[in-house]
Structure 1
Amino acid sequence: MTTSRSFVLICTVGIFCFISYNMVRMPALSLFAESLGAGPERIGLIVSVSTLTGVLLKLPSGALSDIYGRRFLLRIGVVAFGLPPFLYPFITSLDALTALRFLHGLATAIFAPSALATVAELYRERRGAALGTYTACTQSGSLLGPFLGGYLIHAAGFSTAFVTAGVFGCVAMVLFYSLHLDVSVPQRKEQGTAAVLSEMWKGFSVVAKNTKVLITSVTDAAKMIANGALMAFLPLYGVSAGLNPGEVGLLFTVQACTSFFSKPIMGRVSDRMGRQPLILLGLSICAGTFVCIPHVSMFPVLLLLSAGFGFGEAVVSSSSSALVADSSEFKTLGAGMGMQGTIMDIGHASGPLLAGLLIASLSYPMAFGVIAGVQLLAAGVFWVTMKRM
């Protein structure tokens, strides 16, 4: 399979995987948890727990892909996307839902670092554009998934939405297993657990000493704190403001649509203008739109703010992934992407938890204001650190 066909395959599989994942995640998960009796703090935990899987596994998953090859990890990842959605209709307790979310988190934890590293290997000279295009394709899952999920919940109930999500995941499995992804497989001279752990540790050590990778990943994590907070509590806020689940799903769709069309463009811009200025710009846009959301209840204005946040996300993501790839050695590219994914997931998991605590003790406007401040603080730290390097 040629490079272009391999790229099309990984992008197409990514689309179906993330449609499936986001049909479960937005707005279905928060509303489903609330229907089982969860309060704000427990909803924050349930939404964040799948991301905790990524915190634990993305870095070792990326490092293992450097040793065993990307295809091996991707095969496991697509299965983790396809099968868990069929279990949600059988969930009747919050503890079982929490456990299933942790299991479902294996999908992104295993698949994402290997997919990003694969794209970065396929297009070494045009990484910004290629990574922007790939992440735009996965973002299309956030475009279609919430809209389909919200509509199906409104029209037919939670079970229909979850089963449909499983069907999309199975399509991704069939596509990936029926077509051959053309990526290099590392030649391993040593065998055994000790040799594997030694190679993984070498990758960890190199990446952990890379200041550019770390500060870029932390900055990206600040954006993901806000993203996680929106994922958990925009559905609840929207319903309290008078929207139905289908309209709430459309808010996420507009956010993802803006990001989908902006990422490839901003990736090309970052190839020409540099990564750092765009990361600062994107974080500022995210913070400005995020802080305004709980102050309005009109559906058209919420759509506009969602679109603005999606554009800010696109500006940050298309540049940060490319900057991490630029700053990583080739032999530790998977570990670098895994490190970025791990730190991002820490932010993503923190967002729902932090927002849940703040909303329960303060209010939506104050909670969103605090989280917007975190994004601006991260932008300032990134600017100062990169200026000194």
Structure 2
Amino acid sequence: MRQFILIIVLISFIDMFSQLPIMSPFAKSLGASPALIGMIVGMYSFSNMFGNILAGYWIDKHGGKKVLLFGFSFTGAILLLYTIVTSPEQLMAVRFFHGLFSGFLVPAAFTVLANKENKGKQGKSMAISGVAVGISAIIGPAFGGIVASKYTIEWVFIIIAISMGMIAVFSFFVLPNKPAENTRKIEPPIQTLMTLLKKPALAISFIGAFSLMFAQGVLAYMLPLQVEVLQYGSHYSGILLSTFGITAILIFGLPTNRIFDHFQHRHIMMLGMSIIGFALILLSMAVSLPFIFICMILYGTGFAFLFPSISAMLVEHTDEKTRGKAFGLFYAFFSLGVVAGSSLTGVLAVSFGTGFIIAACILFTTTIGIFVYFKNIARIKKSMG
């Protein structure tokens, strides 16, 4: 069962990552201006936030299985619409609905996975699920680029749509038909957001998700520019991103994943943020390819510490009645971080060095804030005890 859920996670993220190398050229081929291309690319993440929030609301009301079936069915159908678009405006509309419906998939999959794990094993479970995310980050862009170059861009969407249809059928028979046992009145999404944000541990998890993906958005935007400025081949951008992904996968999948259940999640979270921030500072000064590779290995290490710890913190402070909404908001902050990171550095028109430093400052500031918060909590408990 766990293996099948990880396959669901893999397919869900491949859908997202496979678009990276093809969407800009696709929009350009339809006559989109540079500004419109940027809007088309960002529309997916924008609508994905709303899909994440709605998914969390419906997961706790109807159960993860139904939401997964709905998400896969509608996302697969929307993917086929890419094959018939003829204008940038049509592509923009398809991107909106693609992001909206695909936003149902990951929160539902992670909720089903988390609900199957015993207490005390959530950290390792989230680390293993990170393997699926890492693999998709490596093979997704390669799949999209290779299929588009050897055949056509349309075949990328057709193949993924067929895969989603097959997964939907298998999910219907394989996943347990266990709706959420929630007799309480379901709050509207906005009210749910405010309720969950009032819980410090969950708020910290959401902030961690935003900070991680803010850095990721800056990295995705700035690393290719850095490689270009240093006059290395453009293919090195993909290789460098794969280096970070492979490093994270090794830490996720090897016995090193046991650390996530042996140390407090907040400590591993702060360590991961600090490592990523340090890696970004080094990247801002990097002028040679070997040194950039070292920075990416360091970045991958920080990512591997941060992602499971913030996920496990969320699982630890929720139950089956609230976990769906919490994961929905969690991945909404993921999408928001990517949009904010790439958009802010683009609007400011900064150099790659300055962009990396801005992201590092966000991470270090967040780390210090979390450290001070827990320090004050410990002091209050000590004075009361």
Mapping for residues 325-344 of structure 1, pairs under 5 Å: 325-344=315-334
Unpaired runs of at least 5, structure 2: 378-385
Specify the alignment match of 1:56 in structure 2.
50
Shift of 1:279: 0.9
Mapping for residues 358-373 of structure 1, pairs under 5 Å: 358-359=348-349, 362-373=350-361
Q: 1:353 aligns with which of 339, 343, 347?
A: 343
In structure 2, how many angstroms separate the alpha carbons of the residues matched to 1:148 and 1:173? 21
Q: 1:22 aligns with which of 17, 20, 25?
A: 17
Number of equivalences = 374
1:136 aligns with 2:131: yes
Specify the alignment match of 1:222 in structure 2.
211
Q: Secondary structure of the equivalent of 1:282?
A: helix
Shift of 1:202: 7.6
In structure 2, how many angstroms separate the alpha carbons of the residues matched to 1:49 and 1:225? 17
Q: Secondary structure of the equivalent of 1:273?
A: coil
1:254 aligns with 2:243: yes
1:376 aligns with 2:376: no
Mapping for residues 273-284 of structure 1, pairs under 5 Å: 273-284=263-274
Shift of 1:301: 4.3
Specify the alignment match of 1:211 in structure 2.
200
Alpha carbons of structure 1 residues 204 and 289: separation in structure 2 relative to 1, 3 Å: closer
Alpha carbons of structure 1 residues 274 and 196: separation in structure 2 relative to 1, 3 Å: closer
Cα deviations by residue, 1:64-99 (Å, 9 ceiling, x for unpaired): 211111101111222344344444455565444433
- Single out whichever of 62-71 and 264-273 deviates more from structure 2: 264-273
Mapping for residues 234-245 of structure 1, pairs under 5 Å: 234-235=223-224, 238=227
Alpha carbons of structure 1 residues 172 and 216: separation in structure 2 relative to 1, 3 Å: same
Question: Residue 78 of structure 1 contacts residue 169 of structure 1 at CA under 8 Å; is this kept in 2?
Answer: yes
- Amino acid across the alignment from 1:365: G
Question: Residue 12 of structure 2 contacts residue 105 of structure 2 at CA under 8 Å; is this kept in 1?
Answer: no
Question: Residue 8 of structure 2 contacts residue 109 of structure 2 at CA under 8 Å; is this kept in 1?
Answer: no
1:288 aligns with 2:282: no
In structure 2, how many angstroms separate the alpha carbons of the residues matched to 1:167 and 1:336? 30
Question: Residue 43 of structure 1 contacts residue 232 of structure 1 at CA under 8 Å; is this kept in 2?
Answer: no
1:117 aligns with 2:106: no
Question: Residue 13 of structure 1 contacts residue 175 of structure 1 at CA under 8 Å; is this kept in 2?
Answer: no
> What stretches of structure 1 move > 6 A for 4+ residues in a row?
none
Question: Residue 117 of structure 1 contacts residue 333 of structure 1 at CA under 8 Å; is this kept in 2?
Answer: yes
In structure 1, how many angstroms separate the alpha carbons of the residues matched to 2:94 and 2:234? 23
Specify the alignment match of 2:380 in structure 1.
none
Cα deviations by residue, 1:138-158 (Å, 9 ceiling, x for unpaired): 331112112223344555564
CA RMSD of aligned residues (A): 3.1
